[in-house]
């Protein structure tokens, strides 16, 4: 079974957060058929994230959807996102420090599923909305990591597949992600970023702090509701 890749098709990792929403908006502008992939890995706020995934897919009329249940990542733990005995860190990440919300080697699970799916449906591009600068401090959000993953894909798939890993947000500042989203008409009101709560957003965890700062720097209001 030969499955050459098709430039018109792309798989997008859609967590339901603001970055993946912008990444999806960009992929939908570039490709005729876009496949939305979401991962449930036992994270604290998965219920609202999956609902955002569903609403984003509905909003864009995306029929090709795959929800990957990675319960083992929850069993493995080691992160404040998957182990409620570990506190969610607040006030924004410290430069050079990997925060407690780091889920060990998490993004490889998402990309592996996306690449497997891309290979079978013949999609030529896999998008992930990782942001390196001005962001989380996670080792698996760095440009070199995705370059290494690209090499892995070239070696670990059929030679005719030619799947490209695309990280269009990797070098953007977080406020530039907001600005790109606005220019693409991305529905930020359908996204979720808070690590701690399923609503209203806590406004204090690292992810809320980064999001609020990004909207403030972009000079626009975040449409989400926050705890007062």
How far is 17 from 30, CA to CA, in rounded Å? 20
Name which of 94 and 105 has its Cβ closer to its own copies. Answer: 105
All residues at 6 or more sequence positions from 24 whose CB lies less than 8 Å from its CB, including other chains: 12, 14, 34, 36, 56, 60, 127, 129, 186
Asked if 162 contacts 173 with a C-beta cutoff of 8 angstroms, the reply is no
Longest CA–CA span in the chain (Å) reads 57
Exactly one of 6, 33, 48, 77 binds its own copies (CB under 8 A); which one? Answer: 77
Q: Of 76, 184, 202, 220, which one interacts with its own copies (CB under 8 A)?
A: 76
Beta bridge partners of residue 201, listed in sequence order: 226
Length of the chain: 228
The single residue among 18, 28, 113, 224 that binds its own copies, judged by CB under 8 A, is: 113
Q: Hey, is 55 helix, strand or coil?
A: helix
Residue count, binding to its own copies (CB under 8 A) = 48
> Which is nearer to its own copies, 155 or 228 (by Cβ)?
155
Please say which residue, 46 or 176, places its beta carbon nearer to its own copies.
46
Based on the shown chain and the rule CB under 8 A, indicate whether residue 102 belongs to the binding site for its own copies: yes
Q: Does 81 interact with its own copies (rule: CB under 8 A)? A: no
In the complex, the residues that contact its own copies under the rule CB under 8 A are 1, 3, 66-73, 75-78, 86, 98, 100, 102-109, 111-113, 115-117, 119-120, 139-140, 142, 144-145, 148-149, 151-153, 155-159
């Amino acid at each position: 079974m030969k499955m050459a890749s098709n430039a018109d098709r792309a798989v997008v990792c859609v967590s339901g957060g603001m970055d993946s929403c912008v990444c999806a908006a960009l992929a939908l502008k570039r490709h005729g058929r876009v496949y939305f992939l979401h991962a449930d890995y036992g994270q604290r706020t998965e219920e609202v994230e999956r609902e955002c995934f569903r609403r984003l897919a509905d909003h864009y009329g995306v029929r090709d959807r795959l929800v990957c249940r990675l319960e083992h990542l929850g069993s493995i733990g080691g992160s404040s996102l998957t182990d409620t005995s570990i506190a969610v860190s607040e006030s924004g990440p410290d430069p050079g420090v990997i925060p407690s919300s780091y889920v060990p080697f998490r993004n490889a699970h998402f990309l592996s599923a996306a690449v497997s799916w891309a290979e079978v449906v013949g999609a030529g591009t896999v998008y992930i909305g990782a942001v390196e600068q001005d962001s989380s401090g996670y080792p698996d959000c760095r440009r070199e990591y995705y370059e290494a993953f690209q090499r892995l894909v070239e070696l670990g798939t059929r030679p005719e597949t030619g799947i490209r890993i695309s990280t269009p947000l990797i070098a953007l500042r977080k406020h530039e992600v907001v600005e790109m989203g606005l220019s693409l008409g991305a529905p930020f009101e359908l996204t979720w970023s808070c690590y701690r709560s399923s609503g209203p957003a806590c406004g204090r965890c690292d992810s809320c702090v980064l999001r609020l700062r990004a909207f403030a720097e972009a000079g626009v209001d975040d449409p989400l509701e926050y705890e007062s």
